[in-house]
Structure 1
């Protein structure tokens, strides 16, 4: 089985940080879509960020553009992280008005997903967490988070809600921080359509072994709904080209995705601050495809090496991949 590949449309646009408020010109969503379709024939899907790329007023136009190009909407990513209203939390804000506004917005984005024939709403709740100690009722805020997620999943049972975890940023501590606590968050809803997105870079700097995270999601009841690929140096969410840093990690990851039967999207999520965005993201796709091919060609051999548990033989195999 070959995976379906996708990109997050906004990754082709402007990139900013707290030092430079714009490394590049920011094209419109329509211009970014044309760039992707013209220069990235290897993709079959596009992820759209709510409010940035997709809104109730442009759903029909965006759906026609994707349909005409023969490209699917891989996921809708609601913007609960860039709106100042949600700066102290969206679904976990201590302000009941803000919590309701967040839930209403997520309902709107779920309706947008329905209109786009998109089966996944990717929830990266980046502002839902905390910064200071002795300033947060963890139990209450986690209860609000569970209740709101349950409400969404119950109202839209045909949509799969994928909780994307990340240990920190923009908050110092995120409620969906690692695979284990995000499994708990999904399970606490009691809804069969709440699962998890793994972002490889988030997993790296969470101190996880991302392949083991895949297995945990499988053991929890096939909770892995979606995948974001990028790379980093392990201490921050650098969002670099796949394989800039890691090699063996990706081989093991692709092996366990295959072994656990993952059949979702393989989507790129990176911010090429200074590089040509299309070229950089295309490099990531070609790298993942290369790892996919390595696993396909050597699946039985890798499986046997894992069962044999001989680090030297595994090293010899990996060296053979590089040097022949």
Structure 2
């Protein structure tokens, strides 16, 4: 089914800290300055901020007020476990005390989300991985991860906690390296407020098809977050949506609309050499256009089609005439 509700378009606050088109900025603006800049982007309706990073120089109340003043909505808190404390793992760190710190950091983010009036916290387990064979006890690490996510979910059942997987970076390999592994963990944890956030560039890195992952997560009622970007597949390039993998992005939007995704469209891109305000506006404009095309394909009722050439003619015509 398609949704008639206007979705939120959100972005990462750090996109506006990359130098305004300079590859290597000398100074980083304050968090509140970044929010003010975000408020100038045409079509942007929301922000998602990082914990604890964006609360070092401001308070939840001040940040929430600045977001509102910029005409935006806070749709989520994204947890970043800072190195070096968590460099060897968060929920799977060899030391129990550090694992407890990881849970504490995540539950603090849940409390901040409630204080700021949002009900979604995204956990990216950046450091829960390994580099060498025989370095990680996979079975023990899996159980530690399950226990960690359970603890965070149990802290506040009315806040959704979603897991954003990435197959590598900064670790050589990660414990949760694909959509299937995240869904398996969510199922084993057995908490209704545990969900999945899918990042397109991470899916391309894992050699997954984003549309297939979206369809699977929506079928299980577990897709809460979506992070839009693009890349060449070898790394997390953070390019503008649809700039490399246009057809796969269109197919992803098809399933998001057909199967009833109601979450935020969040842009996780890295405008290192591009003007960040212009880059964000480009993300929004392209996404709106692709959503319109995808919607027409859903309403047309001719896709998917087991005849690849017949189906291909349908989506090709929809793209080129637009």
- TM-score, normalisation: structure 1: 0.92
Q: Could you tell me how far 1:316 is from its partner in structure 2?
A: 2.2
Q: Could you tell me how far 1:21 is from its partner in structure 2?
A: 9.3
CA change 1:278–1:21 in 2 (3 A) is closer
- Superposed, 1:159-308 pairs within 5 Å as 159-219=159-219, 221-301=220-300, 303-306=301-304, 308=305
Q: Could you tell me how far 1:185 is from its partner in structure 2?
A: 1.1
Work out which of the residue numbers 25, 31, 38 in structure 2 matches 1:29: 31
Higher normalized contact order (CA 8 Å, seq sep 6+, divided by chain length): 2
1 CA distance for matches of 2:63 and 2:142? Answer: 35
Q: Is the 8 A contact 1:10 1:53 kept in 2?
A: no
CA change 1:323–1:212 in 2 (3 A) is closer
Q: Could you tell me how far 1:59 is from its partner in structure 2?
A: 0.7
**2:8 aligned with 1:4:** yes
CA change 1:56–1:194 in 2 (3 A) is farther
**Could you tell which deviates more after superposition, 54-63 or 3-12?**
54-63
Q: Could you tell me how far 1:57 is from its partner in structure 2?
A: 5.8
User: Runs ≥4 in structure 1, deviation > 6 angstroms?
Assistant: none
Unaligned runs of 5+ in 1: none
Cα RMSD, aligned residues only: 1.9
Q: Is the 8 A contact 2:166 2:177 kept in 1?
A: yes
How many aligned residue pairs are there?
315
1 CA distance for matches of 2:72 and 2:87? Answer: 34
Which residue does 2:99 correspond to in 1? 99
**2:17 aligned with 1:13:** yes
Q: Could you tell me how far 1:296 is from its partner in structure 2?
A: 2.2
Which residue does 2:306 correspond to in 1? 309
Unaligned runs of 5+ in 2: none
2 CA distance for matches of 1:104 and 1:138? Answer: 23
Which residue does 2:126 correspond to in 1? 126
- TM-score, normalisation: structure 2: 0.93
Q: Is the 8 A contact 2:225 2:264 kept in 1?
A: yes
